Chain A
Amino acid sequence: MRTLYQRLRSKKLQQYCFKIIIQSFFIFCLLAFNFSYSQIDSTLLKRVSRDTVKQGMNMDAVYNRPFLGLGKSPVSIGGYMEANWQHIGTNGVSEGHQFQFRRMTLFVASGIGKRIKFLSEIELEEGGKELGIEFAAIDFEFHSLLNLRGGIIMNPIGAFNQNHDGPKWEFTDRPISATQLLPATWSNTGFGLYGKQYSKNWMFGYELYLSGGFDNSIIANTQNKTFLPEAKKNPERFEEIASGLPLFTGKMAVKNKKIGELGLSYMGGVYNTFQEDGIVLDEKRRVDVFAIDFNSTLPKLNTFITAEWVNIFVQVPTTYTQQFGNRQQGGFIDIVQPVLRRKMLGWEKAVLNIACRFEYVDWNVGTFKSTGGNIGDQLWSVMPAISFRPNVQTVFRFNYRYMQQKDILNNPPSLTGGFIAGLSTYF
């Protein structure tokens, strides 16, 4: 007979319990609101609306979200959802029509006390198949230039990782470089400092964190390539670091209100389990990520441009196969042009945009030792789009993707194309 403790060690059961706890938590929150204020005029529910398309800096994205405040309660809640239809084919083979509930995310924020606040973000993906805490951190403000954040933090690498809410984007899919090169919504348990300073048109911000990080799976996975997102599958990463050494993430960003925002970020550390129980098993191997991001709105035209580029360096054992690359790179650029901004279909401040995203990802930069030829394992994609925003918090999107992907040997590429339509909204 297994003890209850042993049963709880079963991963499936743990995940199930986790789900139940999270669901219970939200039901409790909703009921608490309901019971506490059931006699109160519903107009007391205040929507703290924000223009989430335009914002301060990328580092503010976590708090730059619309919340539903309740009277004088210090707790605000909110969230967003994304749902799509798509019909995509690769080399003439398609899985047909697909309806996808990509994700629903719930936020709970509260002002705990003077200059102390808390925010959590819990995401349910693919209809509840995946459930995870993406962010749950407490912030202490000592000065605008010195804040302490601790908990589950979003590592500030590039811009998209922190600023990933679906309703903010004109495209149905997240950038490939932000999901297949870097892990999407990469968060870890950690602590760090951040701060901001304003001066007329200029803003400066920084973030410095030590957190949990990657593990051996980035070079030992069924993707058959060096694949940083694989580390997200490790549920232990919120409890222990595979290498025993923290991952450092740092970012500096500068913004001029008339020009745009430029961010430089770095994330690095030892990823492999090089020792266990005091016994050295392997050499220390590092992963180092450098990213640059930029966004700007062109004057007069109001064209919004946002771009991000990432370079990744991974120490792969020399005894290993070149299937797993030691250098990766990729990025994207989005160009969004508002073409109509007026009352449409009864919505007062509706906006119709045309947009296009260009993407490139190379999972294995280098040449074959055996032939000197270039290693492939890369893709590029172009994604024209039309989006309609009845308000700043809701977007209808219609995209077409055309993508060419080459295998590791640089053989003729597989061609992918198809339409994706969807909607995303804060609630």
Chain B
Amino acid sequence: MKKISIAFILSLVVLLGAESCSKLEPTLPKNADLLDGSVDGLSSSENQQFLSGDKAFNDLVFTPETGLGPLFVATSCGSCHTGDGKGHPFTELTRFGQSDSNGNSFLAQGGPQLQHRAIPGYTPENLPTGATFSKLIAPVITGLGFLESVSDADILAMADPNDANSDGISGVPNWVSLPSYISPSAGAITQNGKYIHRFGKKASSYNLFHQTVKAYSQDIGITSLYEPHDTYSGLESDPEVSSQIIQNVVFYLHTLKAPVQRNIDDADVIQGKQIFVNIGCVSCHKESLTTSYSPIAAISNKVFHPYTDLLLHDMGESLNDGYTEGGALSYEWRTAPLWGLGLAKNSQGGELFLLHDGRAKSIEGALNYHGGEAVVARTNFFNLSDTDRKKLVKFLESL
């Protein structure tokens, strides 16, 4: 009887322990401390597609058997976009061959992107002699659905190509022709048959679908129904990724949540934000934008805070690599959204690699590279007292 009692008690303890075991497991980090995760308010079917896209984006690793390369930069989407945050120089890519708005003159020599890696048995590309180039690291990818849903009219309203208000800021959209597989969005505005592009460091991608199709082709060497030409042979081949997978990835990118600001009640952060406004950073890094109608209700007609105007600006000679895309000039760069900046270290291996190629190792360092239209804001920043500078940096780190 004693044996049975002990065995029964032990079994009961194990069963009760099993029921409460999750309390002894690692807890979920705070939502604001994570970049990945879906936007609130998705329907069940939208959540399912988000999960499918998440899987394709982060877990679908290509191998030579499934179409990788033969020339490539990375083996999966997630390789470059770890944790959906800013990328690392380890997966930087190089674009080359276009020095002005007249197009890329090195397309026949592998342009516009250098595939500097190759599967066994193949030789990767080398930079052609005489080609100007830029090295680019992956941007943060959260909140992109909100950026895509800003209307062309709103972007144009922020543009000031002739600096009519004499503030020294003259942002312009990047007008580029659409590839045949892209349909213009509702309310799209055209100029000489060209459309406003908004994604990428030079704003040379029209929308997330365009960006995704190009990335499969140029970054991983994966052909699709939309970009059927192999980057090595130049020949058309069967799709190596299905259109459904591309749609799922695009949906995933569309519905990643916007980064959440932290420490918003901190006095230094509040004052830092005011300093950010006072010294003129907001002239380009617009705090709030509004989405237009989107078939995804969770991102339709919402005000959000990306700290960008999605326009190209002259950033001066120190950021002029001599390379450009679309109608942008080589010293023009699209205003980088600042949201998620405070979490960049968590996706860049504990260090900071800021600006288009990761050359700046700190926020102050990045500001120091600002020239052209941003020279006044940069001068104002370095004229601040140490205390005010720290408050401004603290504000930026809260984003």
Binding site for B on A (CB under 8 A): 85, 87-94, 97, 216-217, 219-224, 272, 281-282, 285, 317, 319-323, 345-346, 368, 370-371, 373, 376, 398, 400, 407-412, 415-419, 421
27 A-B contacts, Cβ less than 8 Å apart?
A85-B18, A87-B25, A89-B22, A92-B26, A220-B68, A221-B61, A221-B63, A222-B60, A224-B79, A272-B120, A281-B121, A282-B121, A319-B117, A320-B119, A321-B75, A321-B79, A321-B117, A370-B89, A370-B90, A398-B14, A400-B24, A407-B83, A408-B82, A409-B347, A410-B349, A412-B350, A418-B21
Instruction: Determine if A94 and B22 form an interchain contact, defined as CB atoms under 8 angstroms apart.
Output: yes
Instruction: Determine if B25 and A411 form an interchain contact, defined as CB atoms under 8 angstroms apart.
Output: no
The answer for the CA separation of A319 and B18 in the assembled complex, in Å, is: 50
Instruction: Determine if A224 and B76 form an interchain contact, defined as CB atoms under 8 angstroms apart.
Output: yes
Contact of A220 among B25, B28, B64, B82 (CB under 8 A): B64
Contact of B75 among A224, A272, A281, A412 (CB under 8 A): A224
Map CB proximity to A onto B100-128 as digits: 1 under 8 Å, 0 otherwise: 00000000000000000111111110000
CB distance from A262 to the nearest CB of B (A): 37
Contacts of A89 in B (CB 8 A): 22, 25-26
The answer for the CA separation of A400 and B22 in the assembled complex, in Å, is: 12
Instruction: Determine if B120 and A376 form an interchain contact, defined as CB atoms under 8 angstroms apart.
Output: no
The answer for the CA separation of A392 and B312 in the assembled complex, in Å, is: 74
Task: Decide if B142 is an interface residue (CB 8 Å cutoff).
Answer: no
Instruction: Determine if B75 and A323 form an interchain contact, defined as CB atoms under 8 angstroms apart.
Output: yes
The answer for the CA separation of A418 and B59 in the assembled complex, in Å, is: 24
Contact of A419 among B3, B17, B27, B349 (CB under 8 A): B17
CB distance from A280 to the nearest CB of B (A): 10
Contacts of A371 in B (CB 8 A): 88-90, 351, 353
The answer for the CA separation of A223 and B62 in the assembled complex, in Å, is: 10
Would A409 and B349 be within 8 Å (CB), given that A91-B29, A281-B121, A370-B92 are in contact?
yes
Contacts of B68 in A (CB 8 A): 220
Contacts of A421 in B (CB 8 A): 14, 18
Map CB proximity to A onto B207-236 as digits: 1 under 8 Å, 0 otherwise: 000000000000000000000000000000
Would A419 and B26 be within 8 Å (CB), given that A409-B348, A410-B349, A412-B346 are in contact?
no
Contacts of A85 in B (CB 8 A): 18
CB distance from B92 to the nearest CB of A (A): 7
The answer for the CA separation of A94 and B28 in the assembled complex, in Å, is: 10
Contacts of A409 in B (CB 8 A): 82, 88, 90, 347-349
The answer for the CA separation of A321 and B123 in the assembled complex, in Å, is: 13
Contacts of B353 in A (CB 8 A): 371
Contacts of A219 in B (CB 8 A): 120
Contacts of A415 in B (CB 8 A): 26
- Measured CB to CB, the nearest residue on chain A to B70 is A319
Contacts of A410 in B (CB 8 A): 349-350
Instruction: Determine if A416 and B26 form an interchain contact, defined as CB atoms under 8 angstroms apart.
Output: yes
The answer for the CA separation of A146 and B107 in the assembled complex, in Å, is: 66
- Measured CB to CB, the nearest residue on chain B to A283 is B120
Would A418 and B3 be within 8 Å (CB), given that A323-B75, A373-B349 are in contact?
no
Contact of A94 among B25, B74, B120 (CB under 8 A): B25
Instruction: Determine if B79 and A282 form an interchain contact, defined as CB atoms under 8 angstroms apart.
Output: no
- Measured CB to CB, the nearest residue on chain A to B123 is A319
Would A97 and B74 be within 8 Å (CB), given that A92-B25, A224-B61, A411-B347 are in contact?
no
- Chain A to chain B: the 5 pairs with minimum beta-carbon distance, closest first: A92-B28, A415-B26, A89-B25, A409-B349, A370-B89
The answer for the CA separation of A240 and B59 in the assembled complex, in Å, is: 30
Would A87 and B347 be within 8 Å (CB), given that A220-B64, A346-B3 are in contact?
no
CB distance from A104 to the nearest CB of B (A): 23
- Measured CB to CB, the nearest residue on chain B to A221 is B63
Instruction: Determine if B61 and A222 form an interchain contact, defined as CB atoms under 8 angstroms apart.
Output: yes
Instruction: Determine if A320 and B22 form an interchain contact, defined as CB atoms under 8 angstroms apart.
Output: no
Contacts of A345 in B (CB 8 A): 3, 6-7
- Measured CB to CB, the nearest residue on chain A to B78 is A224
Instruction: Determine if B122 and A319 form an interchain contact, defined as CB atoms under 8 angstroms apart.
Output: yes
The answer for the CA separation of A416 and B28 in the assembled complex, in Å, is: 11
CB distance from A29 to the nearest CB of B (A): 35
The answer for the CA separation of A97 and B18 in the assembled complex, in Å, is: 8
- Measured CB to CB, the nearest residue on chain A to B88 is A409
- Measured CB to CB, the nearest residue on chain A to B26 is A415
Contacts of B386 in A (CB 8 A): none
Task: Decide if B65 is an interface residue (CB 8 Å cutoff).
Answer: yes
Instruction: Determine if A223 and B61 form an interchain contact, defined as CB atoms under 8 angstroms apart.
Output: yes
Contacts of B64 in A (CB 8 A): 216, 220
Instruction: Determine if B18 and A87 form an interchain contact, defined as CB atoms under 8 angstroms apart.
Output: yes
The answer for the CA separation of A219 and B68 in the assembled complex, in Å, is: 13
Contacts of A412 in B (CB 8 A): 346, 350
The answer for the CA separation of A410 and B345 in the assembled complex, in Å, is: 10
CB distance from A48 to the nearest CB of B (A): 29
Instruction: Determine if B74 and A321 form an interchain contact, defined as CB atoms under 8 angstroms apart.
Output: yes
Contacts of B65 in A (CB 8 A): 220
Contacts of B347 in A (CB 8 A): 409, 411
The answer for the CA separation of A400 and B353 in the assembled complex, in Å, is: 38
Contacts of B88 in A (CB 8 A): 368, 370-371, 409
Contact of A222 among B29, B63, B72 (CB under 8 A): B63
Would A322 and B90 be within 8 Å (CB), given that A222-B61, A407-B82 are in contact?
yes
The answer for the CA separation of A419 and B25 in the assembled complex, in Å, is: 9
The answer for the CA separation of A230 and B384 in the assembled complex, in Å, is: 57
